[in-house]
Structure 1
């Protein structure tokens, strides 16, 4: 890694700043699209909205424990289903604990904005528009599953970088394991709001990126 950084023709701080701005603009655009598409169907960020517009808090604080517990359980289930997560996959991509912690923050924020606030909201909007904007519960479930599959597919490049086999079984494994977290976060997004999905995703990543590597 140091050799690769040394080969970059511009200072590292410029690269980091540019990538941060790029990610920030992308998340802002996707967030705007997701709020525009999903707010009319209850897909929203109610706690952030309450803070910005100084509205009453929408839910009790105990619901945060539900989100955290959901994320922890999802992470433990993934490790239990596939013990190779302890030495490959997520763990292999972030062998150092501090990197795993940083990856958890990214997953809990940027990935939730992209896949839940953005992709899932648009999916629900499209399904509702197909039925005359009459939304049904199955549309939210379908949107959560579709967003989870795309979320899993987004981890394929990292699997390639980690040297994992991408045959039919390997691709299915990555989609299924990441889909567990994706579906759980999607259902929380539907029932509790984006912030709860973020907390669940963050806690799941702590199990996969920090706790599992630390225990091994």
Structure 2
């Protein structure tokens, strides 16, 4: 599917986008953890803008390196970012796309997560730091959406899934067999869920129930994003993740306001 080999320029583009998305995330983080920035400033002596710039730069460099490595490993297996590569290098665009499908699947994944929460309970039943639903909180959720769509997808789909698929393909004659991709999708989805535990731990003590819910709910989305990365490319996974976050972090708070 993705015939264009990954290039360092493409990874640099993803790194830059990740840095911007990380900077945009801070209003949402501070809504959930109002003292986080003040504590960091006290510990380092840096001004607020310096802390934001440092975190954004770190995320950008990390995503540049992880994106480059993941795309390079995934390219022989058909994984990549063909639409970005076509735009960046003037290469032919893919003949098939599924933008409406990706957006719809992202929304469905978010609704499935909300349904699971309604059935089995929220990951954190009584979060002391979570502000009440409001338009202001929903707008901060909107600013946070690019972080999930860009930074998390570079780390989890481009790198983790690409690395897992590359390793597993050693057992399939280096061919992108369906079982290889499905196993890589599941692994990346579980790592995606695990990656949300540190943030959950800052809001409530980690318990077995909390861990299972955080991993399970996030893995639901991770399965969808991973399938889209395999079948359509990284851009479609990003779009689905963005639409899912719009439902979870914008529409849901507005609905509860």
Compute the TM-score of the two structures, normalised by the length of structure 2.
Answer: 0.77
- 1:136 aligns with 177
- Aligned-residue RMSD, C-alpha: 2.4
- 2:19 aligns with none
CA spacing shift, 1:207–1:159, aligned 2, 3 Å: same
3-state SS of paired residue (2:93) = coil
**Counterparts in 2 of 1:93-172, with a 5 A limit?**
96-163=137-204, 165-172=205-212
- 1:187 aligns with 227
The count of residues paired between Structure 1 and Structure 2 equals: 214
**Counterparts in 2 of 1:172-183, with a 5 A limit?**
172-183=212-223
Shift of 1:89: 9.1
Is the contact between residue 104 and residue 240 of structure 2 (CA under 8 Å) also seen in structure 1? Answer: yes
Compute the TM-score of the two structures, normalised by the length of structure 1.
Answer: 0.91
- 2:243 aligns with 203
Shift of 1:85: 4.5
CA spacing shift, 1:117–1:94, aligned 2, 3 Å: farther
3-state SS of paired residue (2:223) = helix
Is the contact between residue 123 and residue 213 of structure 2 (CA under 8 Å) also seen in structure 1? Answer: no
Per-residue Cα deviation, 1:26-79 (whole angstroms, up to 9, x for no partner):
000000001110011100000001111211221456x11110000000001110
Unpaired runs of at least 5, structure 1: none
Structure with larger RCO (C-alpha < 8 A, sep 6+): 1
3-state SS of paired residue (2:173) = coil
Is the contact between residue 78 and residue 176 of structure 2 (CA under 8 Å) also seen in structure 1? Answer: no
